[in-house]
Amino acid sequence: MTDEQTTRTWQPGAPGILRLPSGRLVRGRGLRHSLPAGDTPDLGVYLLGKQPPEVPWEARWLPWPDFRLPRDRELARGVLREVWERAAGERVEVACGGGHGRTGTALACVAVLDGVPAAEAVSYVREHYDRHAVETPWQRRYVERFTP
């Protein structure tokens, strides 16, 4: 990463930041909470059952009902790959309503893309992002079966 790219990523230790083993930083958050102070995303990926409100940065909507799995698994794989790729030099956030279940599941899949074994990805995200990440057994299985 160049110095210019480094300035475009999140500040380590800021609220909701997940540091992946590669050093990439991704922010997870709950949309029901206020936008954190400081930098705004270059890309936001919103995991909701209905279309999210407009934001002043580039955004992707990944249809994903609460407590469930993404409606389109192939679309999800592509969007999550984009999250991982762009986090190398840009501020990327992943968010759902509360910031735990869907966001945690998506971040665990991004961790798999970064090289974390799928069987360990939920534990990794719970340790490094939020201990409540990935809320349902089917979300856990989705991560365990997620392939890069």
Q: What is the DSSP string of 15-67?
A: TTEEE-TTS-EEEEEETTSPPPSSPPPSEEEEEESSPPPP-SSEEEEEE--TT
CB 108 within 8 A of CB 143: yes
- Residue 8 CA to residue 114 CA, distance in Å, equals 19
Predicted local confidence at residue 91, as pLDDT: 98
Predicted local confidence at residue 7, as pLDDT: 58
87-116 pLDDT per residue, tens: 999 999 999 999 999 999 999 999 999 999
Place of tokens 């400081």: 38
Residue 32 tokens, joined: 């029901």
Strands 92-96 and 43-48: parallel
CB 106 within 8 A of CB 136: no
Domains and CATH numbers, the chain: 22-145 (3.90.190.10)
1-18 pLDDT per residue, tens: 444 444 589 999 899 999
Predicted local confidence at residue 6, as pLDDT: 44
Q: Work out the average pLDDT over 39-57.
A: 96
The rounded mean pLDDT for the chain is 94
Predicted local confidence at residue 4, as pLDDT: 44
Predicted local confidence at residue 78, as pLDDT: 98
- Whole-angstrom CA distances from 79 to 11, 12, 22, 34, 68 are 23, 23, 19, 24, 17
Predicted local confidence at residue 8, as pLDDT: 86
